[in-house]
Amino acid sequence: MNAAHLHLASAPAPEFEVSGWLNAPQAPTLASLRGRVVAVYAFQMLCPGCVSHGIPQAKAIRQLFAPDEVAVLGLHTVFEHHAAMQRAALEAFVHEYRIGFPVGIDSPGEAGPVPRTMARYGLRGTPTLLLFDRHGVLRHSLFGRAEDLQVGALIGQLLAREREVADDPPCDGDACSLQ
């Protein structure tokens, strides 16, 4: 494919570090979603590209694929205008924009404006779409506007490629973890 995207390490990705979740009775984890492809939209509620493109694309993914095949999550990674995007504001946003999938609130950074998960994953900004394979390995990180055709192709490949080895737990260095 022509569009730029990153192929990332083969180890399962670290879990999100969040201060809370919206739309989620139980906190989702990458571990609990093993077996599914996972699409995570890192966004800010006052980021125009997130609102016009990222959120609608997230909804479309959620509508197209079976929930036991592809999971969709939001991650509110606020790195600017912090005062304007606190939890109450996010709740209003999620309500007004009819967002039905779980949205995690990225934990504030220890030193600086960038929140913890955003820093850990090395995100460049918002929106960023993170695509994880069925083993929880981060396969693609797309910053900015990603076209539906490309996103569909990446998800389709992850859906197909990983099926055969789903019984074969991933290995990280010396050891293989049980699932």
Interface ranges with its own copies (CB under 8 A):
1-3, 46-48, 51-52, 57, 60-61, 63-66, 80-81, 83-85, 88-89, 91-93, 95-97, 147-161, 164
Enclosing H/E stretch for 34: none
Q: Does the CA dihedral 104-26-66-153 come out positive or negative?
A: positive
Q: How far is the CB of 157 from its own copies (least distance, A)?
A: 4
Closest CA to 45 of 5, 95, 116, 119: 95
Q: Closer to its own copies by CB, 10 or 97: give it.
A: 97
Q: How far is the CB of 73 from its own copies (least distance, A)?
A: 17
Q: How far is the CB of 50 from its own copies (least distance, A)?
A: 10
Q: Closer to its own copies by CB, 16 or 73: give it.
A: 73
Using CA atoms, how far residue 28 sits from 73, 74, 150, 160, in Å, is 9, 11, 26, 23
Q: Closer to its own copies by CB, 30 or 90: give it.
A: 90
Q: How far is the CB of 41 from its own copies (least distance, A)?
A: 14
Closest CA to 140 of 123, 163, 117, 119: 123
